Every structure is written in C-alpha cells, then in structure tokens.
C-alpha cells in the first residue's frame, strides 16, 4: 500500500476532490469524523473536478481537466483505470447510474452531455444543443431521469431529461446566478442546488414544481451532495466542506482540509446501494 493514500474505511464516507487528490471524511450517522479524514487517491499532476461513486463495484469515478479524461479506481488502493480519454475538452460534472451500469458527464467546452458504459464503451452524446456552461449532473435511475445545471451567466438554468436525452425540459430559470452544485435526494424527492451567484441553497420537488429557499448568504459553493437531513457542499472561498441541515436551514459543521486550496466535486460513498429497481426493468 502507498503511504500517502489510505483505503476507504467501511461505512458511509464523503468523497471530495481537492486539486490532484480525492479525500474522504467518514460519517457517523450524519456527522463528519473530521479527525479520520484522509486521502484515498493522490494524482499530483491532475486537476480533478467531478467525482461520482459506484456503490456496486465500490469504485470512484472522476473527471480530470489537465489531460481531459474520465477515470476510475477502486477505493482499496486500486490504480487509476482510464474510462474515456478522447474527444473531451473540459469534462466537469459526472454521475454514475449504478443500476444501468453507465456513467454520465458534462463537458463545458464541447457543450455536451454524454454517457457510456462503465468501461467506456457504447459512448453516446445525449444533449448537444442550448448548452453553454454545463457543470453539475445527477441521475435518478429509479425514475429514469437526469438533471443538470448550466451556469451560463446570460441565462443560467437547471434542466431535466430522460436518461436517453429525450423529454428535455427546463425546470428552473428564474432567480438563478451561478448554479454550480446539484443534488437529488430520492427519499424526499427533492432536487437541491447551490448557487455561487445568488449565494443560496434552494430545493424543489421536480414533479410538483414547488420551490423553497434552504439557506441564504452562503459564500462560493462548487460541488454538492446530500444524505438524509444534511446537505454537504464544497466552498471555493472557504476552501472547506460545509454541512447544512436542510430542515433546520442552518449550517451545522465545516471541514477544513489540511491543504488550503480550492475544493471541487463532492459525493457520498455508501457501503450499500440504495434499494430500487431500474425503471427499464420495471417497464
């Protein structure tokens, strides 16, 4: 084993990217065990932007903008395995469909949303129109839909479509600034976003369309994930992972990594996959 990286401990962990590292913070119930935080992957020459976790094979997937690519590694000290290495310019957001065994990503230079199987095969462009700065992307394989945010300063928006790119629809257009982070909680069916322009966290029910503010006055969110009552986001000005209790609408904790530099994508790594069937196998 490498002395500078540590295997992911059992239980639920937060994974986040900081430059050429993916760090983990174990969670106990919803609380961060900050003293147990360590590096799980160290790629000193890379700039890792997005991270996603596959709960089936216990692999982390990430986007790298230095040699634009998508790679994966198992979290017990596995070596990086390239997944997509060609025809990328600025791959940023990434999401894994653990049921369909596919990976989805945004590219803010090619202005595309694409998918491929987890080995990089069967690559397909899903959306390539009306995108300016697509970044965050998440998938809900149980309902067969994806969500993404485009922080285009002229017309920021949050959109949804089926996971094959059909049925595209703008969900949010008003009152957005720079929607960098996006997360979906299947328990509450709430889609939440973190906005570095309006400095707010907001949530909506994508089916009913009801929208509400969760927290105002946040600084500079980049990535975002959620677990139960908590929202976890990375902040570019604070160089920190910040925890917000959705129900209490309050910041409850923060984690300051040892290295004082920007933090990027963040995701949850659960020991077990959430129950649920792929909408394809149901229909």
Partner 1 sequence: DSTVGSPRDCQPCPCPGGSTCAVVPKTKEVVCTNCPAGTTGKSCELCDDGFFGDPLGQDGPVRACRACKCNDNIDPNAVGNCDRETGECLKCIYNTDGFFCDRCKEGFYGKPLASDPKDKCKPCSCSPYGTVGRQTSCLQVTGQCTCLPHVTNRDCSACEPGYFNLRSGTGCERCNCNPIGSTD
Q: Which residues bind partner 1 (CB under 8 A)?
A: 1-4, 19-20, 39, 42, 44-45, 47, 49, 65-66, 90, 92, 108-109, 133, 151, 153, 178, 180, 196, 258-262, 264
Exposed/middle/buried for residue 216 (C-beta within 10 Å: 0-12, 13-18, 19+): exposed
For the bound state, the minimum distance from the C-beta of residue 58 to partner 1, rounded and expressed in Å, comes to: 21
Q: Which is nearer to partner 1, 76 or 187 (CB)?
A: 76
Q: In whole angstroms, what is the distance from residue 279 CA to residue 266 CA?
A: 26
Best CA proximity match to 92, nearest among 60, 124, 114? 114
Beta bridge partners, 200, equal: 195, 216
Q: Which is nearer to partner 1, 153 or 212 (CB)?
A: 153
For the bound state, the minimum distance from the C-beta of residue 278 to partner 1, rounded and expressed in Å, comes to: 32
For the bound state, the minimum distance from the C-beta of residue 56 to partner 1, rounded and expressed in Å, comes to: 27
Q: Which pair of tokens denotes residue 219?
A: 């600084």
Within 10 A of 212 (CB to CB), how many other CB atoms are there?
12
For the bound state, the minimum distance from the C-beta of residue 55 to partner 1, rounded and expressed in Å, comes to: 27
Q: Please say whether the beta carbons of 226 and 232 come within 8 A.
A: yes
Q: Which is nearer to partner 1, 13 or 133 (CB)?
A: 133
Q: Which is nearer to partner 1, 98 or 157 (CB)?
A: 157
Q: Which is nearer to partner 1, 180 or 183 (CB)?
A: 180
Q: Which is nearer to partner 1, 168 or 238 (CB)?
A: 238
CA dihedral of 242, 193, 23, 218, whole degrees rounded to 10: -30
For the bound state, the minimum distance from the C-beta of residue 61 to partner 1, rounded and expressed in Å, comes to: 17
For the bound state, the minimum distance from the C-beta of residue 20 to partner 1, rounded and expressed in Å, comes to: 6
Name 239's Cβ contacts closer than 8 Å, sequence gap at least 6.
256, 257, 260, 261, 262, 263
Match 């600084």 to its residue by tokens.
219
Distance of CA 1 to the CA centre of its chain: 28
Q: Which pair of tokens denotes residue 278?
A: 């792929």
Q: Please say whether the beta carbons of 203 and 191 come within 8 A.
A: yes
Q: Which is nearer to partner 1, 145 or 240 (CB)?
A: 240
For the bound state, the minimum distance from the C-beta of residue 69 to partner 1, rounded and expressed in Å, comes to: 13
């Amino acid at each position: 084993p490498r002395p500078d990286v540590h295997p992911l401990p059992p239980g639920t962990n937060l994974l986040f990217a900081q430059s050429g590292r993916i760090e983990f913070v174990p969670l106990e119930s919803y609380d961060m065990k900050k003293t147990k935080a360590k590096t799980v992957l160290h790629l000193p020459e890379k700039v890792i932007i997005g991270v996603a976790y596959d709960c089936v094979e216990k692999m982390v997937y990430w986007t790298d903008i230095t040699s634009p690519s998508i790679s994966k590694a198992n979290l017990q000290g596995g070596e990086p395995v390239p997944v997509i290495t060609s025809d990328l310019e600025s791959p940023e957001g990434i999401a894994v469909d653990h049921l369909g065994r596919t990976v989805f990503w945004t590219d803010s230079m090619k202005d595309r949303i694409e998918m491929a199987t987890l080995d990089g095969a069967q690559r397909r462009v899903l959306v390539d129109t009306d995108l300016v700065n697509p970044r965050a992307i998440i998938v809900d394989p149980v309902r067969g839909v994806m969500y993404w945010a485009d922080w285009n300063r002229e017309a920021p928006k949050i959109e949804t479509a089926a996971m094959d790119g059909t049925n595209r629809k703008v969900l949010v257009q008003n009152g957005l600034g720079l929607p960098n982070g996006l997360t979906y909680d299947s328990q509450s069916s709430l889609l939440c976003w973190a906005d570095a322009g309006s400095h707010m966290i907001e949530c909506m029910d994508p089916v009913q369309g009801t929208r509400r503010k969760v927290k105002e006055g946040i600084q500079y969110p980049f990535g975002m994930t959620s677990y139960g009552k908590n929202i976890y986001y990375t902040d570019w000005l604070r160089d920190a992972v910040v925890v917000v209790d959705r129900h209490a609408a309050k910041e409850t904790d923060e984690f300051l990594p040892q290295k004082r530099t920007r933090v990027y994508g963040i995701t949850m790594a659960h020991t077990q996959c959430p129950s649920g069937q792929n909408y394809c196998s149901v229909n």
